[in-house]
Amino acid sequence: MAAELTSTQIRSISAIKRYLMLATLTFTTMLYTMTVMIANVALPKIQGTFAATQDQIALIITFNIVATAVVTPASGWLASRFSRRNLLICCVSGFIVSSTLCGASQSLEQLIVFRILQGGFGAPLVPISMAMVLDTFDKSEHGTVSAIYGMGVVFGPIIGPTVGGFLSEELGWRWVFFLLVPFGIIVLLAIISIIDDKSKSGSLKLDWTGLISLCIGIGALQLMLDRGQRLDWFSSYEIIIELIITIAALYIFLVHIFTTNNPFINFNLFLNKNYLLGLLIMFLFGTILWTPLIIYPPMMQKLQGYPEDITGLFLALRGLGTLCGSTLLVFINKKVDPRFILSLGFLLQGIAGMYMANFDINLSAFDLAWTNTLAGFGVGFVWVPLTLITFSTLENKYLNEGNAFWHLIRNIGSSISISITIALIIRSTAINYEDLSHFVSIFGDSNSIITLKGANSPDSTSDLVKLSSEINRQSSMIGYINAFHLYYWIAFAIIPIIMLVRLPSRRTK
């Protein structure tokens, strides 16, 4: 990536120009966060259109994140080779086209391919934008501008589900993707008008062996996790082959980066304790970041019949909570130890997860709303302090590379977590369906689940079908509850890791 600006160069840029750049880059980040979020609210309707199973429809989310993960590390080389401005213009243009193709997809396979393209084009947007923000402002302003930039992460989850849910309900799920096009055009025009960083550097070489082996390893691992439940895991030759490919590719990647003179990832990054802890925290944060947003739509729509527009509003409450947390952080981030703020953020997410794990089949609108809002509020306390902790002791020359790998780790954590969560729900549903069936009798009213809903004892085929459907509904709810248990366990487990972080004795003012 282009070299970072010196203090003299930063001062040469007018304050108005710097904040216009900040606004443009924040809007660019918002476009990407809308991409991840906006499809969630329409997943049940897409599933119905293509007659897909729950694990198949999850590929729309996971493959998009995987594409983002594998392209993200190359962001630095791409920016260096083609300049930041040209890269942003190319990526946003490709993003607009791929979003249009997503909306026009005629099969699940087409939609997955176009989502992969969408994730690939969107991958450089966040690391390039974040690096430019940190590069354009002096270190003394990093806390404040990071909080403002974090609004891009916040508004995407608010606008995406809210507007997308309404469009999906009124016009169909395809308009969820078409919605991204006008936003993309606005971002493209803003980048052309405001961003003028055209600097290039042909000296930065890309380690193709490292990149390709990492891409193959991540792709094979994700495919194994996505298809494992359907193929009964290691009883399938396909899963075994994917595991072998994963191990071989990641082995090549690790051996290569430790032995080559020009590694894909500089080993010196991992010698910095704070950065290493920041990577671990970011990976675990990635595993819980999207969990409620993946679980809520099918849980609300399939178990209680909520329409897409109402589901979108509930998802937007999470974004609203994040907005409140991020706004509060603007005023307190310089006064409070970032380790305390970060711990509080994960504590709030863990508490929200504990209450989610106590949901029952009769989903209360109030409980759905306040738990999701509280979880979002906790997320609002994560981005800025985690950024400060991770990069507080890292030398400027490693900033761009370290930032790209940091986002890569988050995306890997998210994609793996989504696959495991879906597999956990499906497996728990099947196990609990079998267990609950043993307690159901078709010969008596008192112990028949269907009588709990006011129906008569089943004495016909249609009644038996209703009984089976109700058992499956109850079993699915237990599966969702198990996923929420995993969610809050991980949130609480992160807090002790934060205590290991040691900040510089005197923070830059």
CA 315 – CA 290 distance, rounded (Å): 11
Each residue's pLDDT tens digit, 382-429: 888 888 888 878 777 777 677 778 878 887 888 788 888 888 888 888
Q: Residue 191: which of 26, 382, 406 has the closest Cα?
A: 26
Domain annotation covers residue 227: no
Looking at residue 313, which CATH number applies to its domain? 1.20.1250.20
In angstroms, how far is CA 187 from the centroid of its own chain? 21
Query: 47-51, 118-122, 165-169 — which is least confidently predicted?
Result: 165-169
pLDDT at 1 over 50: no
CA distances from 460 to 187, 437, 444, 474, 495 (A): 59, 17, 14, 21, 54
440 φ, ψ (degrees, to nearest 5): -110, 130
196 φ, ψ (degrees, to nearest 5): -130, 20
pLDDT at 282 over 60: yes
pLDDT at 106 over 80: yes
Domain annotation covers residue 216: no
pLDDT of residue 492: 96
* DSSP label of 52: -
pLDDT at 509 over 50: no
- Positions of E strands within 294-442: none
Contact 450, 463 (CB under 8 A): yes
Domain annotation covers residue 126: yes
Exposure b/e, 220-236, CB count within 10 A at least 16 = b: bbbbbbbbbbeeeeeee
Domain annotation covers residue 507: no
For the chain, how long is the longest CA-to-CA vector?
Answer: 84
Domain annotation covers residue 381: yes
CA 227 – CA 59 distance, rounded (Å): 10
CB atoms within 10 A of CB 244: 12
CA distances from 456 to 445, 452, 463, 464 (A): 7, 9, 8, 11
Each residue's pLDDT tens digit, 428-443: 888 888 887 777 665 5
pLDDT of residue 473: 86
CB atoms within 10 A of CB 397: 12
The whole-chain average pLDDT of the chain stands at: 81
pLDDT of residue 373: 92
Q: What is the pTM of this model?
A: 0.78
Work out the percent of the chain whose per-residue pLDDT is above 70.
88
Query: 10-19, 190-199, 437-446, 460-469 — which is least confidently predicted?
Result: 437-446
Work out the percent of the chain whose per-residue pLDDT is above 90.
18
Range of the domain at 303: 7-206+264-430+475-498
Domain annotation covers residue 454: no
- Give residue 357's pLDDT band: very low, low, confident or very high (50, 70, 90): very high
* DSSP label of 138: -
pLDDT of residue 203: 58
Sign of CA dihedral 314, 318, 324, 327: negative
Domain annotation covers residue 19: yes
Question: Between 108-122 and 84-103, two packed helices, what is the crossing angle to 10 degrees?
Answer: 160
Q: Count structural domains, the chain.
A: 1
Domain annotation covers residue 458: no
Assigned token pair, 146:
């990071």
